[in-house]
Chains A and B, each alone.
Chain A
Amino acid sequence: MTPLAILVMFLVVTIILIAVIVAMPGVTRTRSGKVLGFLALFLLPAIGGWAGFNEHMERSKTTRFCLSCHIMEPYGRSLYVDDKNWVPAWHFQNNRVPRNRACFTCHTDYTLYGDYKAKIRGFHHVWAQYVTGPKVPIHLYEPYNNRECLHCHGEARVFLENPIHAAQIDELRDNATSCLISGCHDTVHNVDHLSEVKFWKP
């Protein structure tokens, strides 16, 4: 059984217990009835609500969730570009980021999940999508932080022994030089050029 099935069963059982009390509120007069009341009208719904919140938080990290908004679709398509210079595509196709949470792995600061600031950003996307309308073309709110790349690459031997990295390792770590500057890893999603490239068909 999946965790979701267990959670749904838990919720259904809770609903049944509550229904008993709604149908016969008199049962709460007895001592065991009071315990039942406390469980059904307080403890179980509180646990159920909390578990539901966590379930939704987990879902919001999935690639499918990110791509459920039409405006994010080109970014999803860019993961299938058949060219090793497209950084997200090459990571995605070779499982260097988990495929089912590809976007979250590189954009972990920008989801509903994580610290307070990241939550505000996630709500900001939803707000932009449904209320104010997005600003196109989409830009990052803040320049991409090298920290996200270095989280995986920072201590890797191939990264450190590469002479280009080694020559400016402090600038890279301080974010003074972006990993994405032109001539380096400068081809990211490139959504304006998706009509000109070949796609990988798994």
Chain B
Amino acid sequence: METVVNSQPPFKLSLRLRAAGVLLIVGLAIEILSFFWIHPLAFMGFLVIGCAFLGLGIVLFLWTLVSIAKSGPSA
């Protein structure tokens, strides 16, 4: 059993990593889908929806990294 000494238990971290992963997968899937059409709406969909998921996923991942660094190397 792990003792809960730091404020960020690993469970919470892995939950965040998973959430970041899911966001990124959705973003990349939208990107692939957008390649099916040569059309301004495909471009807009990629830019507005796809890139929003990619951006959120990456930010969430980086934020998780920062909180790991703060809470010490044990995580």
Select the stretch in A51-59, A143-151, A154-162 that faces chain B. A51-59
Residues of B within 8 A of A56 (CB): 34, 42-43, 46-47
A4, A11, A25, A45: most-surrounded residue (chain B CB, <10 A): A45
Residues of A within 8 A of B43 (CB): 56, 59-60, 112
Complex-state Cα separation, A52 to B31, whole angstroms: 7
- Contact B27 A45, beta carbon cutoff 8 Å: yes
A25-B17, A28-B17, A59-B43 known; A8+B32 contact, CB < 8 A: yes
- Contact B38 A45, beta carbon cutoff 8 Å: no
Q: Which residue of A lies closest to B13 (CB)?
A: A25
Interface residue A62 (Cβ < 8 Å from any Cβ of B) = yes
Residues of B within 8 A of A53 (CB): 46-47, 51
Per the 8 Å Cβ criterion, residues 63-90 of A in contact with B are 64-65, 68-69
Interface residue A163 (Cβ < 8 Å from any Cβ of B) = no
**Count of A interface residues, CB-CB < 8 Å:** 38
The interface residues of chain B, by DSSP majority, are classed as helix
Residues of A within 8 A of B27 (CB): 45, 49
Interface residue B44 (Cβ < 8 Å from any Cβ of A) = yes
B15, B18, B20, B57: most-surrounded residue (chain A CB, <10 A): B20
Interface residue A26 (Cβ < 8 Å from any Cβ of B) = yes
Interface residue A15 (Cβ < 8 Å from any Cβ of B) = yes
Residue among B17, B25, B35, B46 making CB contact with A37, cutoff 8 Å: B17
16 contacts between A and B (CB under 8 A): A4-B35, A15-B29, A18-B24, A18-B25, A21-B17, A21-B21, A25-B15, A41-B21, A46-B54, A46-B58, A49-B27, A49-B31, A52-B50, A56-B46, A60-B40, A129-B40
